[in-house]
Structure 1
Amino acid sequence: MIRLNIDNHWLEVEKGTTVLEATKSLGIKIPTLCHHPHLDSSIGGACRMCLVEVEGMRALAPSCALPATEGMVVKTRSKRVIQGRKMVLDLILSNHPLDCMTCVAAGNCKLQDYCFEYGVKDSRLRSGDEKDYPLDHSNKFYFFDRNKCIICGKCTRICTELQQTHAITMSGRGFDTHVSPPFEDPISQSTCVSCGNCVSACPVGALVPRRTERFRYWETRKIKTTCPYCGVGCQMELLIKDNKVVEVAPSDGAANNGMLCVKGKFGYKFIDHPDRLRTPLVKKEGRFVQATWDEAYRLITDKITAAKDEFGADSIAGFSSARCTNEENYLFQKLFRAVIGTNNIDHCARLCHASTVAGLAATLGSGAMTNSNLEALGSDLIFVTGSNTTETHPVIGSHIKQAKANGASLIVAEPREIELAKVADVFLQIKPGTNVALFNGLMHVIIKEGLEDKDYIRDRTENFEELKEVMENYSPEVVAQICEVNKDDLIKAARMYGKADKGAIYYSMGVTQHSTGTQGVMAVSNLALLCGNIGKESAGVNSLRGQNNVQGACDMGALPGYYPGYQKVFDSKAKKKFEKAWGRTLSDKAGLTITEVVNGLDEKTIKILYVMGENPVVSDPDTGHVKRALDKADFIVVQDIFLTETAEYADVVLPAAAFAEKDGTFTNTERRVQRIRKAVNSPGESKPDWVILMELMKRLGYGASYGGPADIMEEIAALTPQYGGISYDRLEVEGLQWPCPTRKHPGTKVLHREKFDRGKGLFKPAEYIKSAEVPDKDYPYIMTTGRMLYHYHTRSMTKRVRGIDALYPESYIEIHPVTASRLDVNDGDKIRVSSRRGSVVTKAKITDGVVEDVVFMPFHFYEGGANYLTNSVIDPIAKIPELKVSAVSLEKL
């Protein structure tokens, strides 16, 4: 520790603390323009606004870049300091427009604030030669006004150090120094991803979001909430004026370190889009007509009651939602289990991470991400596989790139050359569907070369001998042939992971969405256990959850075989516990999964389907089959914020509130339970999902009564061991990571530190099995699917954001140049893509990011949608469909 004196106050700080950081502990405010808490302080001080006087130093020094030293005496408000800061403002204003009356950044401009604070009205150094650069509106989400740029460098450093995109830089020298934005050089390909972190950080009006509403910042109020998009769980502030969200700013939460992506920053306009559902709709004679809530509720309750009486409760099924809150998912499964009387409840985790729940539960005892988002920054080695992280989880992707820039090693194993592959130490461009062989090959080398953690294996695991025996068959030569990679690269990757002190594995649906997905997850777990990388900070097995609350929906029991907290429905002790709490007799028969429900509709054994916030017509495999099955349903209820493609098949549509219109919690991919807060009123007669569910439960004769989501969380905490210590009071400032069993427990950053949930970690060796469908003469290409940065899930939200939809309005297929040449296909040509399940027409995108005879399609689109082609064959354990490998043919139109 270091002792120093600031403004006649002695204090102790850790070595390496800057003077600026030290002043904060005393509540002293020092003006800053270029400073950002997560930027490297050793190269700060560009703007000089944070000048302080240090005893023994002749010149004033920038406090943001000045390390505290033992015995240092600092003055932050001396006459000399005040004059120095005034001179800085004078210099800045000498070449800055004085248009505060009309500037859109007024009220959110640090320069304006500091000029007011220090009484600086104009510059004595102004030459009269005003800058007059044209505004640049070429970006879809923000504009750049070079006239107002003060060359503080904050935007360029955030782009380089934090976002790691390197899209903007400082150019020129002397008076010509300026920020080179991504659109300045039209010849080069910009790396800008429109994350908006530079815009959020700009201290003046140089980088400004495009607006559809006119407002002044002092007219707005701020509501802190959680992003409704991917599973990172970024914290952000909604700026509200007149019951409208007019802007979004990042908040410095534990999940995101003050960063957002393009969707979080700019993708909010769906909230007040004209397409929002405003009243209940009932289908009469094939057309939707507006209805009252009473009419809609009566129709639903009559149909449910009749179906139960005639066909039994198991003739009814429900799809819950990874986009709804924990409280709403809890009530949805309670509605089905305690009120309707069936366990036929599932949600989209079945299509993304059901194999993670099954695989990690078997090997470790808990099917969740073992570590935390920010721990990537401390990893020695990061292994990314089955995840295009910078597009699907952009902020975590940036953390991985930061770790790489700071010295961590990076291995990437993917069928496509994703962004991270370009900076990887080893890139293994594997054949789709060969994950298990790859992981086994890595373990073969590690065991052969004695790189495994022998003490960890002895003390904390079991069944190693069987693993060792099975891995004998996966030599680098064999695996290189299966995966179609270079065996030397495979050996290099194995040695890197085997020798790393803190090796972290990040994976997602490229591992899970296979007919052998559970084996793939268990193989990942085997690899991590082999090297002692579970239960250790900045290491672990990190399953990246796709949607904002897919982890929470699983936790809440929106699964056919589990009550909340993964308590099995066929376990008599758990069943009695919930029967006592809910006051109803419960079924001990595991319900149907999503794919089984669709088959049940097709076979007429499922009569009624209730869908809350899901869109299976677009998201589920084999779209043609899904549509035919929905056509056969006796009755369908859809509860959503838009009339989705699935809602078109409904008999009743219920208008729900969006995330910004209700209170609740989401649980992100790192198991962090975080608040969402009501910021605006919902449109028309729409209601929060939890209110709709509570009112339906009452209509069906169950006495559900909650004063609000906080009351529901109290019930969740009482019944769910992992959430036992979670309450709204505790979540007010920062979220908590489960398991958090008691009100005094701080939450759990790293799982399995001392022991595994199952006792010892279990090695479960898995043999490589080919994908269910392989290319042949009729369908000679492998199609794999995935997500893209700009769209989210089935586009129900993002296609209603103008800038996003302008960039990517339609589907496409990525094709290697050699494959395209054989087919005489050029970039942008229309192509018919066919599989054994159907065909679609889409546009060709020629890229060497895929290999010959492998093609890629994003799944977000309905027209020309990839899921018309995908295979619905399932993993027999987790019952997850094989969305990642389908055999297709290509035909130029």
Structure 2
Amino acid sequence: MQVRTHTPKLEALRRTNLELIAEHYPPQAVLAEPERAFHRLLGQYGVVAAGATRECLFQDETHPYLGVAMDRCIHCNRCVRICEELQGQFVWEVWNRGEDTRVAPGKGPTLLEGGCVSCGACVDSCPTGALFDKRGPEAIEYWTRTTCVYCGVGCQMDVSSRDGKVVAVRPANHPTNRGHLCVKGRYAFEFNHAPDRITTPMLRRNGEWQAVSWDDALDFIAGRLRDIVARDGPDAIGVLGSARASNEENYLAQKFARVVLGTNNVDCCARVCHTPSAKALKTMLGTGAATNCFDDIEHAHALLLCGVNPTENHPVVGARIKQAVLRGAKLVVVDPRCTELAQLADVHLAVKPGYNVPLFNALAATLIEEDLLDYAFLTERVSGFDDFAAFVAEYAPERVAGECGVAAADIRAAARIYATAKPAMCFHGLGMTEHLQGTEGVMTLINLALLSGNLGKPGAGINPLRGQNNVQGSAQMGCDPATLTGSQLIKDAGPRFEAAWGCKLPATHGMDLLQMIDAARDGNLKALWAFGYDVYLSLANEAASRTAMAKLDLVIVQDLFLNETACAFGTVFLPAASFFEKEGTFMNSDRRVQRIRAVVPPPSDAWPDWWIIQALAARLDHPQGFCFDNPRAIWDEVRTLWPDGAGLSYERIERESLHWPCPDEHHPGTPVLHRERFSAGKTAALACIDFVPTPETIDDDYPLLLTTGRTLYHFNAGTMSYRTPNAALRSSDTLDMSPGDAARLGLADGEPVHVHSRHGMTTLPLRITDVVRTGQLFASFHRPELFVNRLTSLVRDRQVHTPEYKVTAVWVERARSDG
């Protein structure tokens, strides 16, 4: 067969079709943007746009990022298809037929009211500019590939700059995100050049911040640290790594703590989110990280989502999950709220907050009772089955359904899906970990995977969705009091690190972040150095945090902005470079190590964190081991000390998307862990986890149950996203309440309400929504001035001390006009 695509007849037909399309096309658009794909095609065939006017076209000027010029629409329907087939949002629809055909949102008068989540995929697909980025210059020649700084998906993106400022971001076609980005990664970059960014070191003198030189700031810090070590010992100092910082910088931070200061008091923000995941996975399976990669979503026949809301918190992965479900994968969602994916689920288990352990024990009991086990896997890879079966029989669905707030029949239906629609892939989030039994809750998930054989194969596994871009990397680099780089226990790997670093490691056991706060309260911790982490705003129970941090003698804040920690307690502020301004690597949720690259130079006197750490080490008379010329040199030292990362050279990372373990430069990486054996051995033991209820319970005085979390348009403390036009997309945190509760309390949508807990009070605007159940509330925590952590309790995970952000008893009243 011979196929000809450019014969004279076909070319004439193409020209005729282009002339028909161009009959209603504006000629000024072709002149203004000749590089558009459709405009190039018109030029190639010598077709002139006729420019006949059309009426009744969709118009929308309300979106901060997406522009609409529908006089350019040629009805190619690419926007319709990409919104359906990539994002799964179904915003765009084709209206009418023939000459009356129009493309417009189908669910509302504007894009945002029609369900747009501002991912920009339709803009990328549009060949004419009918849909366009309002801020994005079209003719950009040079783009720099880097890794997104928001959630833990690790999306790759291309960034362009002009006059030293980032001006545009577009998604990269990379295995991690497959040419897709969310609204934060694509559009929320203007924080980098915000007018209130701090670009010179500062000292607080007489209650006022004063700009100083780097020499003055570093000399001041070095002198104070020497005094504290001499007077109170090195364990009176704590160092906190950062999910905002690179792997190389976190490695240097923990090395500084142990080598220069002589303390194991080093931790990072993983403590307040996914340390329970790491602890549970390492204890039971031997490796404290996700077992499978994101590419396995397309291989899974069933998906189990537990306490995670990926379409808002990990939107690119959320879109992939949504597409998998639309293609026929089964879906079970365990979440107190009726999230977007819960609405698509085959079974939604709206568990009462705090009751994860009995619920997942009930799922395990169902697998055993209904003979839904993988006996071959159990025989070869699992131990302790008989004891576990006897234990978990007490958690039959009919016994625990009432206290969990779900139907026994639904528990059984969920168990059947997970065990029979194999392979089944489990994702979990902070709704599992931020509890009194956070670590143990994750262990109950691992029990399910062991019983059903959903481990060690593509499309399966237990996978924590990490909330921040490099929270996996910061802990993996050794920002943890009990482990060194590579999550290696000090008692096992200590001698090797001592030989490499040329010193003895501290003998005393280090304190984690929450223990540091307790020690500060008791007067035993005197200094805290935190970079890229707003500790005060982020910790549960603001009153306790304030009391403790006020007793510190020295608080070093290293960041882009004067965050709440700096404003309330800071002694020294060190201006850091952002991820747009430095080199290095991040580590995402599915164990990929990926490059970040400088797009623009740091402003004024800001420097990368790795430079600052080394400069301070030199001031403390310890330059040895802290004289790296660049992050690449730091990473090469990391690889010599971390056997599972030895093969991850910069050269390979530049051209490959690799998952650790990758022990040498010929190893292909490990997308799926535990294929033949577990890291801890041939078999893994089932864990008998009895339920321990939280002391944070409702009563007549505090009758409503509040849980907290993130939202699509903002991120953590709002430090970055609220300094961008994302603030127009969601201007405030809200208190989400069911219509029934609002009616009972006589409250109206949008009005301010006082929220009281046993620990504090804050005021939030009310949002009435049927996403939350009667008796339950939800609030995000992104606005510093609203400070939702004034409400949260001192309850902590029993094993790793993660705060229980997800369960707080409250009562609500209308805000009084007198304040």
Distance 2:9 2:680 in 1: 65
Would the aligned equivalents of 1:336 and 1:342 in 2 still touch at CA under 8 Å? yes
Distance 1:403 1:868 in 2: 39
Partner of 2:611: 691
Say whether residues 1:665 and 2:585 are aligned partners.
yes
Deviation at residue 771 of structure 1 after TM alignment:
1.6
Partner of 1:247: 168
Change (3 A) 1:106 1:221: farther
Say whether residues 1:647 and 2:566 are aligned partners.
yes
Would the aligned equivalents of 2:93 and 2:105 in 1 still touch at CA under 8 Å? yes
Would the aligned equivalents of 1:811 and 1:863 in 2 still touch at CA under 8 Å? no
Match of 1:168 among 80, 85, 92: 92
Q: Deviations over 1:609-654 (max 9, x none)?
A: 1011000121110112212222211011000011111111211101
Partner of 1:868: 790
Deviation at residue 356 of structure 1 after TM alignment:
0.6
Say whether residues 1:777 and 2:700 are aligned partners.
yes
Say whether residues 1:841 and 2:763 are aligned partners.
yes
Deviation at residue 464 of structure 1 after TM alignment:
1.3
Partner of 2:812: 890
Would the aligned equivalents of 1:618 and 1:861 in 2 still touch at CA under 8 Å? no
Change (3 A) 1:498 1:266: same
Distance 1:258 1:326 in 2: 25
Deviation at residue 80 of structure 1 after TM alignment:
4.7
2:688 counterpart SS class: coil
Change (3 A) 1:605 1:188: closer
Paired AA for residue 763 in structure 1: L
2:550 counterpart SS class: helix
Would the aligned equivalents of 1:138 and 1:183 in 2 still touch at CA under 8 Å? no
Deviation at residue 122 of structure 1 after TM alignment:
1.1
Q: Deviations over 1:361-419 (max 9, x none)?
A: 11111111111112112211111110011111111111111111111111111111111
Partner of 1:22: none
Match of 2:749 among 812, 827, 835: 827
Match of 1:197 among 121, 137, 147: 121
Partner of 1:638: 557
Change (3 A) 1:127 1:301: closer
| Unpaired stretches in structure 2, ≥5 consecutive residues | none
2:190 counterpart SS class: coil
Deviation at residue 230 of structure 1 after TM alignment:
0.3
Change (3 A) 1:840 1:178: same
Distance 1:441 1:885 in 2: 21
Deviation at residue 233 of structure 1 after TM alignment:
0.7
Paired AA for residue 863 in structure 1: E
Distance 2:665 2:711 in 1: 40
Deviation at residue 79 of structure 1 after TM alignment:
4.4
Distance 1:327 1:711 in 2: 9
TM-score normalised by length of structure 2: 0.96
Please say which of residues 776-785 and 545-554 is displaced more in the overlay.
776-785
Distance 2:13 2:291 in 1: 50
Paired AA for residue 585 in structure 1: K
Paired AA for residue 781 in structure 1: L
Q: Deviations over 1:541-567 (max 9, x none)?
A: 111000000111111011111100111
1:693 counterpart SS class: helix
Partner of 2:394: 473
Partner of 2:597: 677
Would the aligned equivalents of 1:349 and 1:554 in 2 still touch at CA under 8 Å? yes
Q: Deviations over 1:657-685 (max 9, x none)?
A: 11111111111100011111101111111
Deviation at residue 453 of structure 1 after TM alignment:
0.4
Q: Deviations over 1:92-111 (max 9, x none)?
A: 322221224764x554x112
Would the aligned equivalents of 2:385 and 2:686 in 1 still touch at CA under 8 Å? yes
Match of 2:48 among 118, 122, 128: 122
Would the aligned equivalents of 1:362 and 1:762 in 2 still touch at CA under 8 Å? no
Distance 2:581 2:328 in 1: 43
Partner of 1:744: 666
Task: Show the 5 A alignment for 1:30-49.
Answer: none
Partner of 1:857: 779
Distance 1:134 1:766 in 2: 57
Task: Show the 5 A alignment for 1:180-191.
Answer: 180-181=104-105, 185=109, 190-191=114-115
Would the aligned equivalents of 2:25 and 2:51 in 1 still touch at CA under 8 Å? no
1:283 counterpart SS class: strand
| Unpaired stretches in structure 1, ≥5 consecutive residues | 1-71
Say whether residues 1:229 and 2:147 are aligned partners.
no
Deviation at residue 735 of structure 1 after TM alignment:
2.7
Would the aligned equivalents of 1:195 and 1:261 in 2 still touch at CA under 8 Å? yes
Distance 1:821 1:526 in 2: 42
Q: Deviations over 1:686-711 (max 9, x none)?
A: 01111111111122122211121111
TM-score normalised by length of structure 1: 0.88
1:473 counterpart SS class: helix
Deviation at residue 872 of structure 1 after TM alignment:
2.3
Change (3 A) 1:134 1:372: closer
Change (3 A) 1:167 1:187: closer
Partner of 1:63: none
Q: Deviations over 1:410-447 (max 9, x none)?
A: 11111111111111111111100111111111111111
Match of 1:384 among 299, 305, 312: 305
Paired AA for residue 307 in structure 2: G
Would the aligned equivalents of 1:460 and 1:761 in 2 still touch at CA under 8 Å? yes
Paired AA for residue 614 in structure 2: M
Would the aligned equivalents of 1:254 and 1:734 in 2 still touch at CA under 8 Å? no
Say whether residues 1:337 and 2:263 are aligned partners.
no
Would the aligned equivalents of 2:292 and 2:671 in 1 still touch at CA under 8 Å? yes
Deviation at residue 772 of structure 1 after TM alignment:
2.7
Higher relative contact order (CA 8 A, sep 6+): 2
Paired AA for residue 409 in structure 1: K
Deviation at residue 854 of structure 1 after TM alignment:
1.1
Distance 1:885 1:611 in 2: 27
Paired AA for residue 777 in structure 2: V
Q: Deviations over 1:451-483 (max 9, x none)?
A: 110110010111111211111001111121121
Task: Show the 5 A alignment for 1:519-534.
Answer: 519-534=440-455
Match of 1:582 among 487, 495, 501: 501
Say whether residues 1:726 and 2:645 are aligned partners.
no
Match of 2:335 among 407, 414, 420: 414
2:27 counterpart SS class: coil
Task: Show the 5 A alignment for 1:480-559.
Answer: 480-559=401-480
Change (3 A) 1:657 1:84: farther
Change (3 A) 1:216 1:411: closer
Deviation at residue 734 of structure 1 after TM alignment:
3.4
Would the aligned equivalents of 1:95 and 1:131 in 2 still touch at CA under 8 Å? no
Please say which of residues 187-196 and 704-713 is displaced more in the overlay.
187-196
Q: Deviations over 1:488-507 (max 9, x none)?
A: 11111111112122111111
Q: Deviations over 1:824-872 (max 9, x none)?
A: 1111122111112111111111112111211111122222222111112
Would the aligned equivalents of 1:717 and 1:726 in 2 still touch at CA under 8 Å? yes
Distance 2:472 2:9 in 1: 55
Partner of 1:362: 283
Deviation at residue 76 of structure 1 after TM alignment:
4.7
Distance 2:814 2:108 in 1: 36
Distance 1:134 1:528 in 2: 50
Q: CA RMSD in A?
A: 1.8
Distance 2:777 2:431 in 1: 14
Partner of 2:79: 155
1:736 counterpart SS class: coil
1:737 counterpart SS class: coil
2:564 counterpart SS class: coil
Would the aligned equivalents of 1:515 and 1:771 in 2 still touch at CA under 8 Å? yes
